[in-house]
Structure 1
Amino acid sequence: MSQIKIAHILHSVGGVDVSLRFILKNIDDDKFENIIIHGYHDTNHNFFNKKNKKLVSYKVPIERNISFFKDITSVFQTYKILKSEKPQIIHAHSAKGGVIGRFLGFILGINVLYTPQAFSYLSSEIKFKKFLFLQIEKFLITKSNYLLASSNSERLRAINEVGYKKNNVILFNNSIQEVLSIKQLSIDKTWPNKYICTVGRPSYQKNIELMIRVVNEVRKEQNIHLVIMGVGHHSDRLSNVQKLIQEYGLSDAVTLIDWTERENIFNIISNSKLYISTSRYEGLPYSVIESLALGKPCIVSDCDGNRDLITNGYNGFVIKDENIEEFSEKIKLVFNDEVLSKKLSENAKKSFDEDYNIEKNILKLQEIYSKYAIKN
């Protein structure tokens, strides 16, 4: 039986990059051949398969922001690559990869699986821009384009808002490998032993300003420290967060870490009291999945992705309507109640084992690829 060739198209940063690498390291190399088409400047790391063999990858000028010249160039260069490589299926990841992949899939008659990892129109604070991005999503729906949702919330949004037919929407939850060992920190530890943590760049999506306000509320009754990881890239609201920290006098209560290795992130999460997310939207956030895998209770905002992962009172708490007081009360509850914290921790690990382990879930993705690939 010949291999099925998959072309992955993406701007390979953040959770999108993480998602692809987990797929590549777990998929059956005897059945599937993977090539990657990504941006010039998104990652300097090569892509490897399950056998640790370096995979074929191409660089085109895909960037996060809209650039007419670079986007058109990306389309033409990707077209040439696809014509040469002749994949049986395209997996388009994120908004920019989705636009290029779906357009060229239609032109070339190749089925496309599109994984938004949170729809682009959710990212805009401007109503017209949000409307425009939504219309682009709607325009690119074709019979050969299938929405491969990273969470059930994303699946429902694709059907109810974007306009996909139910039969053209498939669910495959973001998944990771089990974290089997925790390495020692390779950076200096400058925060106290009892702390809470998060991973997220200061941006509209992550809503770190709300998190700072929550910490300020908690500290009216409870001494607490927050460690924020990943503030170094695309952090357009970092100055707002820093000003808010100064305004509330929280300089000694918040640690900002620009960038660090994933091993350090795992160490910091595993030694924290709980994980917190105040996001406005997500696909299915890897940092929360990692926290579940590490047995950490999670207190999260009620948004796409977060609400799919966390069940109130089972493995954490979901807070509606950006309610600062409710966030504060639940943090203090988990922080101080060791019996509750242990129960939530055990259930967090169980949640991961049952639903988000890539070693189990990769079989479902392989079935999806096989079903929608164009047979030569």
Structure 2
Amino acid sequence: MKIAILSSHTSSLFWFRMDMMKEFIKKGHTVIALGSEPEAEWKKKFQEYNIDYRQLYVERNGMNPLKDLKTLRSLYTFMKKERPDKVFAYQAKTVVYGSLAAKINGISEVYPLIAGLGSIFRGKGFKNKIVKTIMKIEYWAACKSSKKVFFQNQDDKNEFILNGLIQDDKTVIINGSGVNLEKFKPTPLPQEPAFLFIGRLIKDKGIMEYLEACKEVKTKHPQVRCLLVGPFDSNPSALKPEELTAYVDSGVIEYFGEQNDVRPFISQCSTYLLPSYHEGTPKTVLEAMAMGRPIITTDSPGCRETVIEGLNGYLVKVKDTQGLISKMEYLISNQHICKNMGEESAKIASEKYDVKIVNQSVMKEMGII
């Protein structure tokens, strides 16, 4: 079979979906990956894994209807020419327009993944309400055009059902994107306490809460390291470079930019933090768990599933900087707990989030044998 994988973010395709695409190929199928970045930059990288990469026109964060129409046209042309047997799509615009383009071309084997609902879907305000209404109509159309729809947490699934966007029997819950346990293995904890945040530098990820918590913690515990890995972003809520500069120049934060391999940085931390406002299931948390790190994250959709309170980490309220500081200081003063919590994280990652188990669930639902 010919299987198309659609995403509005090429690097996400390459780093987060590669294990799944390799499984499809191992089963003897052809995989075409579509993303937003130029073919000149990415085609050879995908070819190394026998995946055909195509550039798709899509503006990830824009709301220009003419540009979105161009995205639909681009996907329609692809579907008409390639006639994929099955389509797997994730991220809002490729889910919506990929599903519609497939339906127009008579392709019924479409399987979107709702990998977390963004700030617009859960936000408030008049403008947000208008955009949310449009998004709900688009998601309803996408779900109607799909055979099954994957969700990474119960909160997002319930949100769709509550809003009448999908029937329960069309939904499938999977345990995130999974984590490659052959690649992410437990490593020894550092001797000194160190915290790490990995992610796009956008406010919905809780980056400001992390920076402010680190600033407070460093005043009392100057020996503690606070590491930051991740790219700046075009999202409207993105952190500006000049906003980060003060934290770096004052020695609060050690910033390493975007990294293709996060394992060396996870190895340097004793605790992994992600104070995100909402997620599907955060991939970086799963990777940190697999490497034997305790987790401090928020009691929010997608995040709360990764932590058993007091066993492998702690949950704090969304936007609760003081709660974050409290847990950080507790682990600084009780470093012996980190080792036990890290071992529990690795155990949970192995039993629940092994990418092989997750991919088997996906392939079963998609009828890929």
Above 0.5 in TM-score? yes
CA distance in 2, matches of 1:284, 1:269: 18
1:203–1:5 distance in 2 versus 1, CA, 3 Å: same
Distance in 2 between residues matched to 1:274 and 1:43, nearest whole Å? 38
Q: Does 2:235 align with 1:237?
A: no
Matches within 5 A, 1:167-316: 167-173=169-175, 174-180=177-183, 194-223=193-222, 224-234=224-234, 236-239=238-241, 241-242=243-244, 245=247, 251-262=250-261, 265-316=262-313
Aligned to 2:50: 54
Structure 1 residue runs of 5 or longer lacking an equivalent are: 183-191
Shift of 1:16: 5.0
Matches within 5 A, 1:25-104: 25-27=22-24, 29-41=26-38, 44-46=41-43, 53-64=49-60, 65-104=62-101
- After TM superposition, the score normalised by the length of structure 2 is 0.85
Query: Post-superposition shift, 1:196?
Result: 0.7
Greater shift in the superposed pair: 150-159 or 347-356: 150-159
Is the 2:184–2:290 contact (alpha carbons within 8 Å) kept by the matching residues of 1?
no
**Residue 136 of structure 1 corresponds to which residue in structure 2?**
138
Query: SS in structure 2 opposite 1:351?
Result: helix
> Under a length normalisation based on structure 1, what TM-score does the superposition of the two structures give?
0.83
Distance 1:6 1:240, change over 3 A: same
1:24 matched residue in structure 2: 21
Note the aligned Cα RMSD (angstroms). Answer: 3.1
Distance 1:42 1:303 in 2: 37
Runs of 4+ aligned residues of structure 1 deviating over 6 Å after TM superposition are none
Q: 1:83 to 1:122 in 2, by over 3 A?
A: same
Which is worse superposed, 22-31 or 205-214? Answer: 22-31
Counterpart CA distance in 1 for 2:272 and 2:165 is 34
Q: 1:222 & 1:87 partners in 2: Cα distance?
A: 56
Provide, for residues 81-137 of structure 1, a one-character-per-residue CA deviation record: whole Å limited to 9, x for no partner.
222322222111111111111112322332321113222434767523334333432
The SS at the match of 1:45 is helix
CA distance 1:60–1:71, change in 2 (3 Å): same
Residue 326 of structure 1 corresponds to 323
Aligned to 2:353: 356
Distance 1:28 1:220 in 2: 52
Amino acid at match of 2:101: L
Distance in structure 1 (CA, Å) of the matches to 2:289 and 2:39: 28
Structure 1 residue 295 displacement after superposition:
0.6
What is the percent sequence identity of the aligned residues? Answer: 17
Name the counterpart of 1:365.
362
| Shift in alpha-carbon separation, 1:55–1:149, aligned structure 2, 3 A | same
Q: Residues of 2 paired with 1:13 and 1:364: CA distance?
A: 24
Amino acid at match of 2:138: I
**TM-aligned CA deviation for residue 314 of structure 1:** 1.4
Choose between structure 1 and 2: higher helix proportion. Answer: 2
Residue aligning to 2:148: 146
| Count of residue correspondences | 356
Give the AA of the match of 1:252: G
